[in-house]
Amino acid sequence: MDKIKGYFNQGVSFVKESWTELSKVHFSSPKETLRATIVVVVVTLLMAGWLGVIDFFATRIVRQLLS
């Protein structure tokens, strides 16, 4: 029986601690989420363009060396 009480007390303690930590969480507003999404999309497009340019020139150089 003591073992069951111990498990129960651990469960209650876990829920209390989890609730305390959850109250510290900052949830982004829709405006902040939109701004962050725009930044991610823009950076992704810039990186895709940059890698595409590098790939284009690397392919041309390799083809010139192999032909």
13 has pLDDT over 90: yes
Residues 36-62 as b/e (b if ≥16 CB within 10 A, e otherwise) read eeeeeeeeeeeeeeeeeeeeeeeeeee
Mean pLDDT on 52-60: 98
5 has pLDDT over 90: no
Per-residue pLDDT of 27-54, as tens digits, reads 999 999 999 999 999 999 999 999 999 9
Residues of the chain with pLDDT > 70: what percent? 100
56 has pLDDT over 90: yes
